[in-house]
């Protein structure tokens, strides 16, 4: 028997505080679910060492980003710690229409905008086992000043207030376990009746 491919892809939004290990969890997830398309965002922030244009982000200047806002080219955007970040509307529309699931790594303001525009999106928030652990992980990177770390922890506290509006909460204690939970969430979402009506024969 041939299982019919789903007619529309799922929008999957992943948020979580800086230092929670989101990128590592995403790499693990995408390694196991190669059918998921990762949405490469546009940003005005400078590339970090090791980041490549078109891979981690599309790096653009403020004038270009503001042009994209005016032209309605972004599904959502937000200003985060002095820089713009946004998601291309065209790429998302094309992928979802082709039945491909799309993963968005975005912060809480952007997630709220996606929820308002696409109520069926699945919103997942990732937290560390404790705030103490988050602080330890941020210090362990050895790349930021105490002031930057304190700023990130303040921001994390603000972001935590939005947790109740997410559908799922994943604790990143162990990367493989966190990725496994997300895979289970996505499987359950695929089994929702509204996502499976294409499998029901006409009677």
Beta bridge mates, 12: 103, 122
Q: Does 85 bind ligand 5GP (CB under 6 A)?
A: yes
Q: Does 128 bind ligand 5GP (CB under 6 A)?
A: no
List, in sequence order, the alpha helices (H) in 146-174. Answer: 146-160
- Residue 146 has a CB neighbour count (10 Å cut-off) of 8
* Integer CA distances (angstroms), 97 to 32, 39, 91, 171, in order: 23, 15, 10, 31
Q: Round to whole Å and give the CA distance between 159 and 128.
A: 13
Interface mask toward ligand 5GP for 62-81; x: CB under 6 A: --------------xxx-x-
Q: Does 124 bind ligand 5GP (CB under 6 A)?
A: no
Q: Does 58 bind ligand 5GP (CB under 6 A)?
A: no
Q: Does 127 bind ligand 5GP (CB under 6 A)?
A: no
Task: Choose, by CB under 6 A, the member of 36, 105, 178, 186 that binds ligand 5GP.
Answer: 105
Q: Round to whole Å and give the CA distance between 47 and 57.
A: 8
Task: Choose, by CB under 6 A, the member of 10, 44, 87, 172 that binds ligand 5GP.
Answer: 87
> Where do contacts with ligand 5GP occur on this chain (CB under 6 A)?
18, 41, 45, 76-78, 80, 85-87, 105-107, 109-110
């Amino acid at each position: 028997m041939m299982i019919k491919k789903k007619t529309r892809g799922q929008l999957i939004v992943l948020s979580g505080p800086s230092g929670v290990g989101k990128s590592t969890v995403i790499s693990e997830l995408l390694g196991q679910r190669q059918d998921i398309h990762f949405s490469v965002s546009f940003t005005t922030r400078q590339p970090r060492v090791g980041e490549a244009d078109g891979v981690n982000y599309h790096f653009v200047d403020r004038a270009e980003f503001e042009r994209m806002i005016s032209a309605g080219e972004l599904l959502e955007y937000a200003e985060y710690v002095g820089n713009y970040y946004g998601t291309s509307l065209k790429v998302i529309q094309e992928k979802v229409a082709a039945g491909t699931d799309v993963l968005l790594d975005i912060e809480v303001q952007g997630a709220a905008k996606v929820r308002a525009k696409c109520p069926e999106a699945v919103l997942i928030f990732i937290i560390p086992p404790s705030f103490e652990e988050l602080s330890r992980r941020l210090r362990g990177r050895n790349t930021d000043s105490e002031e930057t770390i304190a700023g990130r922890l303040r921001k994390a506290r603000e972001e935590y207030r939005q947790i109740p509006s997410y559908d799922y909460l994943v604790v990143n204690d162990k990367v493989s376990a966190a990725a496994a939970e997300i895979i289970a969430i996505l499987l359950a979402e695929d089994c929702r009746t509204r996502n499976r009506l294409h499998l029901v024969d006409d009677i």
